[in-house]
Structure 1
Amino acid sequence: MAKQNIAKAAFTAPTLDFLRDLVQNNNREWFQANRSRYDAAKTELCGVVERVLTNMSAFEPLSNTSVKDCIFRINRDIRFSKDKAPYKSNLAFAIGPGGRHSGRIDYFIQIQPGNQSFLGGGMWQPTPANLTKFRQEVDYNVDELKNIIEADAFKAYFPEAAGEVMKTTPKGYSADHPNIDLLRRKELFFMHRYTDKEVLKPNFADEIVRGCQLLKPYCDFLNYLFFDEKEESITL
């Protein structure tokens, strides 16, 4: 994308208006009649993603990642859902090597009116093996994780930790473990919410990049723990 287009990358009020109207008219007939509004919204989304990719390339390996790799379809998969509404009520994209299907811990951004837009990332629905790795790291070497998620700048931007938490104590750990709150975590996903007013600011894409840079140490921590650590032989 040319530099002049990247500089203009931003969301405008008609995009949020389209998403609001879609909630009230979530059917194929209405969507097709308003297809031009969706196309305009998607064009803005592509511009924002392009700018985010360009600026994040300074600290993330995204050289082989395209805009289309990152954007989620607005169509819902309704095959196994009781809710047969055909469309999502938001625009969303994920930033990671290769896009939304990187297979690693990446950055997820949702755009939804009603102050429901957010940037998030972290441990969400981990495999049993990865959850075991996380708990072992908390048990043996929690300082690195705490230094990341308890840093003032991180906590100021990501005050909200989401995800399932066990009510009981995980097997193999005592209830009085000094880090039992982290050990009980089945998911640990951090979010920063944006108001509609913030989403419509001309520099919103740059704000996403700033948030991703703050989230990066936690994503790197999990990616190393889950995917990059060298296997060590265990002597019984």
Structure 2
Amino acid sequence: MITKETLQFLKDIKENNNRDWFMANKQRHDDARANVIDFAAEVVKLLSKVDPKVKEDTDVRKCVLRIYRDIRFSPDKTPYKRNFGISVLQNPGGGRGPEYYIQIEPGKSFVAGGYWMPESAHVKAIRQEIDYNADELKQIIDAPEFVKLFGNFRDQDKLKTLPRDYSADNENIDLLKLKSYIAVHQLKDDELLKKDSAAKVAEICSKIYPLNVFLNNALS
């Protein structure tokens, strides 16, 4: 599970986002990161039993993103993130693609999966798959359990104009206009503090698995 100390560290760094405070509290960061790594390891272990693309021997230290922000092109010059991110890629070392993502941030934690803002070639391939096999995707995203966990899949960022090669009268135009293909489930702090929190997160990821299969098929 995620510990109270990890959440408190993240609350504190939000209020003290500067190098002097961070260096004075470096051990707290290291302890919190170790907690998140242990949590990620348990999630990956459980998820590997559902998704064959997720390997149980994944080096989870590489899945936990660094807390240091890239401020080179950002007007926000605070040096540290206010969260720990866990990215479980389905094609480690093979470039961008569908993934599972877990964010640990007091009051703003969530589990997500799918493919966020794909590159243009991948968008084209996914749209083609939707055009050919929309019923398969709709069976996944319109299933009552999926909607209960993640809401309406269609309610995410869309093109304001029609995508190239598709007409307004296409029965699946609402799906074809999507810019991302993600499912997101919010987590409360007390859910993360429970002993079975890793199992709960892995279970939520397992409900995203069919969506990732669809997306991977589009890209294969």
Same fold judged by TM-score > 0.5? yes
Task: Figure out how many residues of one structure are paired with residues of the other and give that number.
Answer: 217
- Please, what TM-score do these two structures have when normalized by structure 2? 0.91
How much does 1:119 deviate? 0.7
Q: 1:21 aligns with which of 8, 12, 33?
A: 12
Counterpart Cα distance in 2 of 1:99 and 1:219: 15
| CA deviation map 1:178-203 (0-9, x unaligned) | 11111111212110000111111111
* 1:36-51 aligned within 5 A: 36-51=27-42
Judge which range, 17-26 or 120-129, deviates more.
120-129
Aligned match of 1:177: 170
**Deviation at residue 140 of structure 1 after TM alignment:** 2.3
- Does residue 190 of structure 1 match 2:183? yes
Q: Does residue 87 of structure 1 match 2:109?
A: no
Taking structure 1 as the reference length, the TM-score comes to 0.86
Match of 1:129 in 2: 121
User: Alignment partner of 1:76: what SS?
Assistant: coil
Query: 1:106 touches 1:122 (CA, 8 Å); kept in 2?
Result: yes
Name the CA distance, whole Å, in 1 between partners of 2:36 and 2:94: 18
| Distance in 1 separating the partners of 2:104 and 2:169 | 41
Return closer, same or farther for 1:80/1:58 CA change in 2, 3 Å cut-off: same
Q: What's the CA shift for 1:138?
A: 2.1
- Larger relative contact order, structure 1 or 2 (CA cutoff 8 Å, min sep 6): 2
**Residue 23 of structure 2, aligned match among 4, 19, 32:** 32
Q: How does 1:63-142 map to 2 (within 5 A)?
A: 63-97=56-90, 103-114=96-107, 116-142=108-134
Question: Alignment partner of 2:110: what SS?
Answer: strand
SS of structure 2 residue aligned to 1:92: strand
Quickly say closer, same or farther: Cα 1:184–1:98, change in 2 above 3 A: closer
Q: Distance in 1 between matches of 2:203 and 2:142?
A: 18
User: Which of 137, 145, 155 is equivalent to 1:153?
Assistant: 145
Q: CA RMSD in A?
A: 1.8
Instruction: Write the letter of the residue equivalent to 1:107.
Output: Y
Q: Which runs of 5+ in 2 are unaligned?
A: none
2:66 is paired with a residue whose SS is coil
Gapped regions of structure 1 (runs ≥ 5): 1-9, 229-236
Could you report, residue by residue, the CA deviation over 1:117-151 in whole angstroms, capped at 9, with x for unpaired residues?
A: 01111131112121112222222221111111111
Q: Residues 149-192 of structure 1, C-alpha deviation per residue, up to 9 Å, x if partnerless?
A: 11122111111546420122222222122111111112121100
Identity of aligned residues (%): 41
Structure ID, larger Rg: 1
Q: Find the aligned partners of 2:88 and 2:152 in 1 and give their Cα distance.
A: 20
8 Å Cα contact 1:71/1:100 also seen in 2: no
1:71 maps to amino acid: V
* CA distance in 1 between partners of 2:95 and 2:37 (Å): 19
SS of equivalent residue, structure 1 residue 171:
coil
